[in-house]
Amino acid sequence: MTLLNKTTAELQSLLHNKEITIKELTEETFARVAKTDDKVQAFISTNEEKALERAEQLDNEPVENRGPLFGLPVGIKDNIVTKGITTTSASRMLEDFIPVYDATVVEKLNQAGMVSIGKLNLDEFAMGSTTETSAFKTTCNPWNLDHVPGGSSGGSAAAVAAGEVPFALGTDTGGSIRQPAAFCGVVGMKPTYGRVSRYGLIALASSLDQIGPITRTVEDNALLLQAIAGHDEKDSSSSSKEVPNYIEHLTGDIRGIKIGVPKEYMGVGVGEDAKNAVLEALKVLESLGAEWEEVSLPHTTYALPAYYYISSAEASSNLSRYDGVHFGYRSEDAKSLDEIYRKSRAESFGRDVKRRILLGTYALSAGHYEEYYKKAQKARMLVAQDFANVFSKYDVIISSAAPTTAYKIDGEPDDIVTKYMGDILTTPINLAGVPAISVPCGFSNGLPLGLQIIGNHFDEATIYKVAHAYEQATDFHKRTPAIWEEK
């Protein structure tokens, strides 16, 4: 393994000077996946034949026509549809579903000249925080194979951390990019709601879902977001706001940047190691000329219940399309149309998916709608206003990306409230629709910790600026798990 240790700029220079070809780089990527993925289990499927064919074609493209990501390998979370390539969302329901079109982000990766290596594991329909609810496999944390990679984009974060691919796409509804990025010691960005088209994303909760990049460095992350961001007429919730040049903002100069640190994010339920890592990171940022103060997001404690009502309600509606008739799993012993619906869903959805469908249907039912769903939407407004208040005075908000390091496999609590508490630091961000990144900020017992940097709507550029300056002043992103060295 040699090539994947290189930075994106180094790889491009090798390609430009014809020291390697895109085909060789692609072959090495598959060799790497073949060697490592037996242990990590990040990929649900790979498409070597198609990828090598494409790599050969790309090699013919003149160097002057190539952008910064041209010819580089990328993995795609398996809830993003890919034309002609099985897209399962890690559910038995879609085990043999072959989409007839590409998601807009996939088209954009193709336009950028990237080579898709395969589809990455996730919690079933992106519902979970450990990737254990996948119907197909349990992905392991590359830093310690007895631990989970986080979720739901666990396959994406683990593949990048294990050095299988330098770039991956994840999706984030309540923390599903940032928490696995934190658990795996990589960089994960959830963009502003509307920054990236959701066309072709298998919906979990449509008012919260966003697709975003997972990479090893902040610079790579900015390059990948640059490639996928922008308005799409196929997703009317995507924004027509201009996409800034993110790389231009990676100046290292963060003098005068004002940071708010919410006291609620440093309180009950957040582990000491996570809190200490944030305090250490603030010292680094201060030494670079940024200023920080404690602030308050007073409705934080209401975000989690509001999030679970809203996301489950939207999920129950989105998942009603899986009826066993049009596509997806169909029960074999259904004797009537009604039984096709009920049995197909019962036999192919996992327990966590059923639980959320039931909670969502309950919250939307006549007699409960006002009491639960509408109340949650009102609480959402208060949570969003908290952020608006802080962003009127501060450039970014900083916290830990997760309350702890990665859990042990099978170690997640059974009690659903305790389980959902793991999402307290990430769900408010989705409710408000603002962007946030996780960057590596330390280790505890050999497992990574992530620093969450939250920005105002459509201000990913400032997040990247701060994240990059912090990254360059620390060496956490340069450390690699032992699995990198294994022959």
Partner 1 sequence: MTKVTKEELLAVADRAMLALTDEEADLFTEDLATFIGYADKLNELDLENVVPMTHALQQINVMREDVERDVLDRDEMLRSVKEHQNGEIKVPTILS
Tell me which residues touch partner 1 (CB under 8 A).
96-98, 100-101, 193-194, 207-208, 233, 236-237, 239, 299, 301-302, 305-306, 308-309, 316, 320, 323-328, 330, 334-337, 339-343, 345-346, 349, 351, 354-355, 357-359, 361-362, 365, 372, 374-382, 384, 415-417, 420, 430-433, 457
Our CB check for partner 1 shows the closer of 52 and 364 to be 364
Task: Tokens 């103060």: give the residue.
Answer: 293
Cα 230 vs. chain centroid, distance in angstroms?
Answer: 18
How far apart, in whole angstroms, are the C-alpha atoms of residue 325 and residue 344? 9
Contact 281, 441 (CB under 8 A): yes
Minimum separation from the CB atom of position 152 to partner 1 (A):
19
Angle, alpha carbons 464-75-486 (nearest 5°): 95
Question: Which structure tokens are listed for 283?
Answer: 């010292």
Angle, alpha carbons 192-197-199 (nearest 5°): 140
Maximal C-alpha separation, the chain: 70
Residue 176 annotated in active site: yes
Our CB check for partner 1 shows the closer of 247 and 340 to be 340
Minimum separation from the CB atom of position 103 to partner 1 (A):
14
Our CB check for partner 1 shows the closer of 275 and 330 to be 330
Minimum separation from the CB atom of position 434 to partner 1 (A):
8
Residue 152 annotated in active site: yes
Beta bridge partners of 442: 449
Our CB check for partner 1 shows the closer of 23 and 345 to be 345
- Give the DSSP letter string of 389-418: HHHTT-SEEEEESSSSSPPBTT-S-SSHHH
Residue 77 annotated in active site: yes
Contact 138, 442 (CB under 8 A): no
Q: What is the DSSP letter of 144?
A: B
Minimum separation from the CB atom of position 379 to partner 1 (A):
5
Our CB check for partner 1 shows the closer of 186 and 431 to be 431
Q: What is the DSSP letter of 46?
A: E
Our CB check for partner 1 shows the closer of 228 and 469 to be 228
Minimum separation from the CB atom of position 278 to partner 1 (A):
26
Minimum separation from the CB atom of position 365 to partner 1 (A):
7
Minimum separation from the CB atom of position 26 to partner 1 (A):
27
The one catalytic residue among 116, 152, 311, 438: 152
Our CB check for partner 1 shows the closer of 93 and 122 to be 93
Minimum separation from the CB atom of position 225 to partner 1 (A):
18
- Give the DSSP letter string of 178-225: HHHHHHHT-EEEEPPTTSB--TTB--S-TTT-EEEEEESSHHHHHHHH
Our CB check for partner 1 shows the closer of 263 and 374 to be 374
Question: Which structure tokens are listed for 35?
Answer: 């060697």
The one catalytic residue among 91, 156, 176, 316: 176
Our CB check for partner 1 shows the closer of 66 and 368 to be 368
Contact 298, 264 (CB under 8 A): yes
Radius of gyration, CA atoms only, the chain? 21
The one catalytic residue among 23, 77, 190, 343: 77
Print burial letters for 129-145: b (CB count within 10 Å at least 16), e (below 16). bbbbbbbbbbbbbbbbb
Please report, for residues 62, 239, 341, 411, the alpha-carbon distance to residue 194 in angstroms, rounded to integers and kept in the order given: 34, 5, 33, 35
List strands edge to edge, sheet with 187-190.
Answer: 43-46, 115-120, 73-77, 167-172, 210-215, 187-190, 436-444, 447-455, 396-400, 258-262, 291-295
Minimum separation from the CB atom of position 76 to partner 1 (A):
19
Please report, for residues 449, 457, 466, the alpha-carbon distance to residue 462 in angstroms, rounded to integers and kept in the order given: 22, 11, 6
**Catalytic residue numbers, as ranges:** 77, 152, 176
